[in-house]
């Protein structure tokens, strides 16, 4: 098939980004500055990480789901301090599931599962490929590989020099030499490792096969146990063979990584990639939920791996309560990462802002100006408005923003903008969110995805406010003030959000700060501020 227009990595990503979680932004530094690090290495919802080493630098991407633009690339020199390069796919074909980022013969590839959505170009799970000659340059594609009904592609090169894709199940298909097509039929090649029947897991769900070669062995690193559900479900398993064609021998000490007790700090540990880190030390990088903070989504963990004399990997992070040696040694905190606060003078798609349930051209609703973001209204309420969301990395934080209601012509006049609302939310999905909605002369609270019975009257004609949400663990307080005021007024309602997570809503996302505009007009949104507490 012919590729779509080549995609350049976004130039809106910072070339020298401020420190990940500098003091006013995020207090959960991974790099502790004393020669050690603490997990997570990327706080917030970054599921299904895939990592590629290019020289002395590492590149990472993850499941971007319905983000448009999507498939955001990150880079690091030590696997701990990450900074965004930018989104590589301006118009994904659907919801993006677990990717494999690889290099072959000097060219870079991303094998991508696109899932059907209300707006997607695909009507079944579809595997596609994008490629680039420079990992930070122009990405071409997507190109349809003609694979339907599969997810979680994992690229491999056999001892025969042929290229393959492993798929969930675990199945396998051969690729053409250029990696942009398939040859022959999909075949089932591996049954996985079966855990004891008395283990408490969500489902077997053999998925996420990643291939790595070491000392003449082919290793398959897969996930079983289901990605949410019980804390003890998800896990990383390993098998090996001398041939890409098998037979595959399961590791005697499987699983490589698993939460064995719900009292441990990280739950549902799975979907791992094995790779060699700085200085020759091996690591497994994977995702997990934080105990007591499942609303943050699946965060990225990094764990050192040693090899036994007979060639099996052993993860040595334990339950991850103690700091671990910083990859590559040294003790300096490196100035990588992102700041979540935004003045809206320029777009920051993918690595800061993403739309919920976007259309393919959703970013056209947003105009970035010196006076702030002008966001065109969509739908009739927060649920149908495709809010702009940002991933929260902290258990407790405060967000503030300025909101001004505009009419369809972009002014503050009432008649043609009647019915326009806008606000600030903590948003899990269109069925489950909370926060404040400003309408002309009225402030309305939402909780559990529904309007509350009461609302807060405002002085007649009020169309501009500053709003704030303060989340202390699971307790949420809401505040507002008119522009120019110094004192905040507490909205007379206190909310609780411990149930805003995947096991409640059956959606593998996270609770995110969000702004929205609904109705026929638009809203000017200014000075978004995020501060960890």
What pLDDT digit, counting tens, does each position of 488-522 carry?
Answer: 999 999 999 999 999 999 999 999 999 999 999 99
Q: Is the pLDDT of residue 15 over 90?
A: no
The residue annotated as part of the active site, out of 48, 66, 81, 136, is: 48
Based on the domain organization, do 253 and 396 belong to the same domain? no
Domain boundary (284, 307, 325) is at: 325
CATH number at residue 141: 2.115.10.20
The whole domain housing 435 covers 354-532
- Please give the structure tokens belonging to residue 69: 């633009």
pLDDT band for position 25 (cuts 50, 70, 90): low
CATH number at residue 405: 2.60.120.200
Number of domains in the chain: 2
SS3 readout for 489-520 = EEEEEEEECCCCCHHHHCCCCCCEEEEEEECC
CA 231 from centroid of its chain's CA atoms:
20
Instruction: Give the tens place of pLDDT for each residue, 63-89.
Output: 999 887 889 999 999 999 999 999 999
Based on the domain organization, do 312 and 365 belong to the same domain? no
**pLDDT for the residue numbered 409:** 57
**Looking at the domain assignment, is residue 26 inside a domain?**
no
Instruction: Give the tens place of pLDDT for each residue, 271-325.
Output: 999 999 999 999 999 999 999 999 999 999 999 999 999 999 999 999 999 999 9
Residue showing tokens 């009432």: 414
Based on the domain organization, do 92 and 225 belong to the same domain? yes
Based on the domain organization, do 423 and 359 belong to the same domain? yes
Residues 377, 516: Cα–Cα separation, whole Å? 8
Based on the domain organization, do 276 and 415 belong to the same domain? no
**pLDDT for the residue numbered 217:** 98
Residues 205, 261: Cα–Cα separation, whole Å? 20
Based on the domain organization, do 237 and 110 belong to the same domain? yes
The residue annotated as part of the active site, out of 66, 207, 362, 404, is: 207
Q: Is the pLDDT of residue 415 over 50?
A: no
The answer to whether residue 66 is catalytic is: no
Instruction: Give the tens place of pLDDT for each residue, 255-275.
Output: 999 999 999 999 999 999 999
Instruction: Give the tens place of pLDDT for each residue, 378-395.
Output: 999 999 999 999 999 999
SS3 readout for 83-104 = EEEEEEECCCCCEECCCEEEEE
Based on the domain organization, do 293 and 358 belong to the same domain? no
Instruction: Give the tens place of pLDDT for each residue, 83-137.
Output: 999 999 988 999 999 999 999 999 999 999 999 987 788 999 999 999 999 999 9
The answer to whether residue 207 is catalytic is: yes
Please state the rounded mean pLDDT for residues 133-156: 97
Residues 52, 139: Cα–Cα separation, whole Å? 16
> Dihedral through CA 12, CA 16, CA 21, CA 24, nearest 10?
-90
CA 399 from centroid of its chain's CA atoms:
20
**pLDDT for the residue numbered 31:** 87
- Please give the structure tokens belonging to residue 527: 């000075």
Based on the domain organization, do 178 and 282 belong to the same domain? yes
**Looking at the domain assignment, is residue 472 inside a domain?**
yes
**pLDDT for the residue numbered 80:** 95
Based on the domain organization, do 148 and 259 belong to the same domain? yes
Based on the domain organization, do 378 and 304 belong to the same domain? no
Domain boundary (307, 325, 343) is at: 325
The pLDDT mean for the chain works out to 91
Based on the domain organization, do 416 and 518 belong to the same domain? yes
pLDDT band for position 3 (cuts 50, 70, 90): very low
**pLDDT for the residue numbered 119:** 79
């Amino acid at each position: 098939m012919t590729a779509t227009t080549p995609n350049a990595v976004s130039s809106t990503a910072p070339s020298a980004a401020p420190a990940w979680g500098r003091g006013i932004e995020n207090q959960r530094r991974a790099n502790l500055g004393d020669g050690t690090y603490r997990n997570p290495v990327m706080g917030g919802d970054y599921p299904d990480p895939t990592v590629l080493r290019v020289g002395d630098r590492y590149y990472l991407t993850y499941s971007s789901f319905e983000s448009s633009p999507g498939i955001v690339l990150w880079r690091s020199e030590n696997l701990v301090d990450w900074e965004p390069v930018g989104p590589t796919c301006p118009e994904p074909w659907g919801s993006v599931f677990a990717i494999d980022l690889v290099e072959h013969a000097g060219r870079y590839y991303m094998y991508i599962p696109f899932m059907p959505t209300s707006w997607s170009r695909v009507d079944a799970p579809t595997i596609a490929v994008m490629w680039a000659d420079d990992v930070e340059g122009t990405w071409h594609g997507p190109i349809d590989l003609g694979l339907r009904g599969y997810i979680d592609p994992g690229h491999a090169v056999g001892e025969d020099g042929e290229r393959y894709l492993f798929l969930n199940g675990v199945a396998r298909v051969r690729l053409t030499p250029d990696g942009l097509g398939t040859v022959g039929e999909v075949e089932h090649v591996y049954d996985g490792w079966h855990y004891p029947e008395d283990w408490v897991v969500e489902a077997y769900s053999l998925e996420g096969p990643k291939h790595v070669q070491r000392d003449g062995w082919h290793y398959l690193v897969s996930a079983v146990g289901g990605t949410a559900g019980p804390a003890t479900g998800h896990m990383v398993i390993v098998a090996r063979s001398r041939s890409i064609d098998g037979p595959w021998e399961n590791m005697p000490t499987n699983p490589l990584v698993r939460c064995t007790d719900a009292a441990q700090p990280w739950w549902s540990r799975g979907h791992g990639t094995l790779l060699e880190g700085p200085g020759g030390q091996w690591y497994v990088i994977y995702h997990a939920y934080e105990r007591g903070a499942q609303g943050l989504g699946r965060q990225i963990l990094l764990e050192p791996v040693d090899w036994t004399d007979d060639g099996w990997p052993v993860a040595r992070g334990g339950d991850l309560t103690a700091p671990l040696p910083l990859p590559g040694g040294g003790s300096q905190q490196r100035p990588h990462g992102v700041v979540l606060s935004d003045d809206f003078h320029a777009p920051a798609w993918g690595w800061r802002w993403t739309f919920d349930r976007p259309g393919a051209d959703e970013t056209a609703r947003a105009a970035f100006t010196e006076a702030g973001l002008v966001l065109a209204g969509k739908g009739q309420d927060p649920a149908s408005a495709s809010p702009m969301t940002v991933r929260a990395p902290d258990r407790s934080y405060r967000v503030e923003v300025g909101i001004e209601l505009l009419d369809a012509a972009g002014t503050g006049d009432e008649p043609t903008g009647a019915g326009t609302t806008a606000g600030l939310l903590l948003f899990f999905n269109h069925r489950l969110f909370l926060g404040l909605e400003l309408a002309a002369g009225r402030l309305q609270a939402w909780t559990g995805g529904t309007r509350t019975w009461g609302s807060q009257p405002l002085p007649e004609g009020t169309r501009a406010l500053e709003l704030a949400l303060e989340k202390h663990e699971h307790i949420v307080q809401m505040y507002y003030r008119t522009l120019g005021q110094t004192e905040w007024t507490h909205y007379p309602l206190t909310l609780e959000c411990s149930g805003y997570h995947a096991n409640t809503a059956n959606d593998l996302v996270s609770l995110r700060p969000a702004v929205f505009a609904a109705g026929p007009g638009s809203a000017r949104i200014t000075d978004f501020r995020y501060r960890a507490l």
